[in-house]
Amino acid sequence: MKVPLLSLTGQYRQLRREVLREVQKVCDSQRYILGSNVEALEKEIARYCGTRYAVGVASGSDAIRLALMAAGVGPGHRVVTTPYSFFATAGSIALVGAVPVFVDIEPESYNMDPERLESLLRKKKRIKALLPVHLFGQCAEMRPVKKLARSHNLAVIEDAAQAIGAEYSGRRAGSLGDMGCFSFYPSKNLGCFGDAGIVTTDNRRTAERLKMLRVHGSRSQYLHTVVGTNSRLDEIQAAVLRVKIKYLEGWTEKRIKNAERYNELFSQAGLLGFVTPPTVPSSKRSVFNQYVVRARQRDRLRQYLQKNGIGTAVYYPVPLHLQKCFRSLGYRRGDFPVSEKAARQALALPVYPELKKSELNYVVATIKRFYTRAGRR
Ligand SMILES: Cc1ncc(COP(=O)(O)O)c(C=O)c1O
């Protein structure tokens, strides 16, 4: 049996006609950039996330970069985030001329540890914003993070790239901070047919500023109020996303069911000493963009699964503080032990909505076989 980490084929087959019809309408209209589909999508995403505004941009990375710019972050500033994330989180901070300052994660959620954040904020100066990540589809502990932000007068920008539809105390990702940044990269829970992203906010002036920044800082043509960039969302991607957003809740429910089924199967198979499934507190709804376990002998298990036709991934093998490009920040191995341990143990298993029960059973049975083979117990 072959079980890829992610397959979009089933989803494409289901939506092909509907999506192609909408794409064709865009082509027939000959309006490709920032048209009625983008406007409608912005309203739909804002409604879905529970915010007043959403501003479409060219990618999730740009969503973070433009959000930082809209918050006035630039040279001389520091922005706190976690070293256990996709590169764009810290890369975007550096791109606006600010310095990423890392704080370690909680071992269970892989997200910003509020206690460590508190002690960091006591020591470090010139911090302008916090950039918590909702990794793998589960929200960071936003209540203490926001409380700290308020007391230190900091902006909170959520990296919600992996977390559309995730909830924290009944509120959706993207509505928890001052701005929320989403990616519509194809592998995301709501993915388009290329690159796209969006920033959510409740603040009208912030939304206006974002709209300006995405078109070279211009409010009316050829008049530039600030220096912005070209980061527009195009009509074809917006049309695709508008079809797909109608199915998002159904897909998310299936991801959650798959995750629950994995948890049950690992427990029934007596694998809990070998594999630690993700935990989600009752105050949160994870949307399982990834189902990530901690596994003993992770790399050997991964190889074994690959040999048996099962796709997995390591998110992320090298934490951001140890990346070559951030060497000048002066961090060393051992500075963020929780992130470094996660980088050695974490393994993402297939969890996409169309995964069949038999495929899921096969993944767990193969993991069981790996650990029961001679010498592994
Ligand atoms: C946590 C995180 N932040 C930012 C991004 C950047 O999004 P994009 O690939 O759309 O630029 C991604 C997605 O890849 C991500 O997973």
- Quick one: which H or E segment has residue 219? strand 218-220
Where do we find the tokens 């996330």?
Answer: 49
pLDDT at 375: 55
Q: Model's pTM, two decimal places?
A: 0.97
Give tens-digit pLDDT for 150-201: 999 999 999 999 999 999 999 999 999 999 999 999 999 999 999 999 999 9
Q: Rounded distance, CA 124 to CA 101, Å? A: 9
CA of 115 to the centre of ligand 1 (A): 26
Q: Is the CB of 141 under 6 A from ligand 1?
A: no
The rounded percent of the chain whose pLDDT value lies above 90 is 97
> Which atom of ligand 1 sits closest to the CA of residue 64?
4
Q: Estimate the crossing angle of helix 114-123 against helix 142-152, to 10 degrees.
A: 10
Model confidence at 374: pLDDT above 60:
no
**Contact present, 104 and 339 (Cβ < 8 Å):** yes
Q: Which of 85, 183, 292, 315 to mutate to test the pocket of ligand 1 (most atoms within 8 A of CB)?
A: 183
The response to whether residue 92 sits with its C-beta less than 6 Å from ligand 1 reads: no
CA 100 to ligand 1 center in whole angstroms? 16
Residue 339: is its pLDDT beyond 80?
yes
Q: Is the Cβ atom of 237 under 6 angstroms away from ligand 1?
A: no
What confidence tens digit (pLDDT) does each residue in 40-66 have? 999 999 999 999 999 999 999 999 999
**Measured from the CB, is residue 133 less than 6 Å from ligand 1?**
yes
**Token representation of residue 244:** 């797909």
CA dist 90 to 175, 252, 256, 266, 375, Å?
A: 21, 27, 29, 34, 41
Residue 335 tokens read as: 């500075």
- Residue 108 CA to ligand 1 centre (angstroms): 21
Mean pLDDT of the residues in the chain: 97
Per-residue model confidence as pLDDT tens digits over 212-225: 999 999 998 899 99
Ligand 1 centroid distance, CA of 353 (Å):
20
Q: Give the closest residue to 145 by CA, choosing from 95, 108, 107, 103.
A: 103
How far is the C-alpha of 154 from the C-alpha of 95, rounded, in Å?
19
Both tokens of 351, joined, read 């969890």
Identify the residue whose C-alpha is closest to ligand 1 atom 12: 161
Residue 199's nearest CA partner among 187, 184, 188, 186 is 184
| Both structure tokens of 101 | 């300052």
Q: What is the pLDDT of residue 159?
A: 99
pLDDT of residue 125: 83
Q: Is the pLDDT of residue 7 over 90?
A: yes
Chain position carrying tokens 């809209």: 70
What's the gap in Å between 85 CA and the centre of ligand 1?
9
Containing 181, the helix (H) or strand (E) segment is strand 179-183
3-state secondary structure of 55: strand
Residue 376, pLDDT score? 55
Tell me if 182 CB under 6 Å of ligand 1: no
CA–CA separation, 131 and 84 (whole Å): 12
Distance of CA 203 from the midpoint of ligand 1 (Å): 23
- 268 CA → ligand 1 middle, Å: 35
% helix, strand, coil for the chain, step of 5:
45, 15, 40
pLDDT in tens, 249-278: 999 999 999 999 999 999 999 999 999 999
Find out whether 190 and 287 touch, Cβ atoms under 8 Å: no
**Mutual orientation of helices 357-372 and 248-268 as an angle, nearest 10°?**
30
One DSSP character per residue, 261-310 reads: HHHHHHHHTT-TTTEE-----TTEE---SSEEEEETTHHHHHHHHHHTTB
User: Distance from the CA of 82 to the center of ligand 1, in angstroms?
Assistant: 14
Q: Which of 273, 316, 48 is nearest to 166 (CA)?
A: 48
Helix or strand holding residue 349 (H, E): strand 346-349
Q: Which atom of ligand 1 is nearest to the CA of 184?
A: 10
Write down the pLDDT at residue 350: 98
Question: CA 46, CA 32: separation in Å to the nearest integer?
Answer: 22
Tell me, using a 6 A CB cutoff, whether residue 138 lines ligand 1.
no
Task: Set out the domains of the chain in order of their start, with CATH numbers.
Answer: 9-104+112-246 (3.40.640.10), 247-372 (3.90.1150.10)
Closest ligand 1 atom to the C-alpha of 92?
Answer: 4
How far apart, in whole angstroms, are the C-alpha atoms of residue 156 and residue 139?
A: 13
Q: pLDDT at position 309, please? A: 98
